Amino acid sequence: WESAIDHAIKQNLEYVPPYGTGASLYVRPFLFGSGPKLGLGPSPEYTFCVLVCPVGSYYKTVGLQPVKGLVASEFDRVAPRGIGDCKAAGNYAADLDSMHHCQKMGFPIALYLDSAQHKYVEEFNTSNFVAITKDGKYVTTNSPRTVLNSVTNRSLCEMAEKDFGMAVERRDIDFEAEVDTWQEVGAVGTAVVITPIESLQRGDKVHSFSAPETLQKLHDRYLEIQRGELPDNHGWMRTVVP
């Protein structure tokens, strides 16, 4: 795993964006069934690959610029006992219709609620959900069967707790019951790191949030560790090319 990632990076060093540009080299390991099989069932053979690509801001924003979001009330991303926690192509395919609908309405991002009751927060199109509450807690979902276990979110949780002394809660989040307790809201993931959410619209009602202050601090500290500007006290980093 690591040797394949290292090899892909070493072979594409000229595509690593220069320091200070705000861009990065996105690394995507993936696995696909490549064996001779048409019937329904596991493939007898799999191919493991790693691709890399230089990337900038995922939502075409400058800096930590908040975006407006839509609650995807008419769509479900995953089944309650499906494979929503897996990094599988089918999970993203299920999001395409909803994403297109959302973008036609002028929203770059949508938030899904649970498909069983349309009550509890799950995640954004391609990112985990995070809220900073008005009493300073870092709150994110605990949905082990329906939400991707984001490495970025796990890292931010650790950093919020250990570096900033924040209380961190991973639990069910009742949208209507709790939305007014959120000071800041963010979408977090590998590509977006943190994208602040300016507002969330559900039906005719718009819930607005404050400009990112705590999320800005978390974002800046996270990137400073990534770029080697601050010591890595968490054991996240390793040298690929000395």
Which residues are catalytically annotated?
87
Helices (H), the chain: 2-10, 89-104, 151-162, 175-178, 214-226
Looking at residue 188, its amino acid is: V
Q: What is the DSSP letter of 73?
A: T
Nearest to 157 by CA among 149, 146, 166, 148: 166
Residue 40's SS3 state is coil
- Encoded tokens for 237: 């980093």
Looking at residue 87, its amino acid is: K
Q: At how many degrees (to 10) do helices 151-162 and 214-226 cross?
A: 110
Nearest to 129 by CA among 119, 137, 138, 116: 138
Give the C-alpha separation, 102 to 109, whole Å. 7
Which residues, listed in sequence order, are joined to residue 109 by a DSSP beta bridge? 69
Q: Residue count of the chain, please give it.
A: 242
For 162-185, the DSSP string reads HTT---EEEE--BHHHHGGGEEEE
Give the C-alpha separation, 8 to 84, whole Å. 28
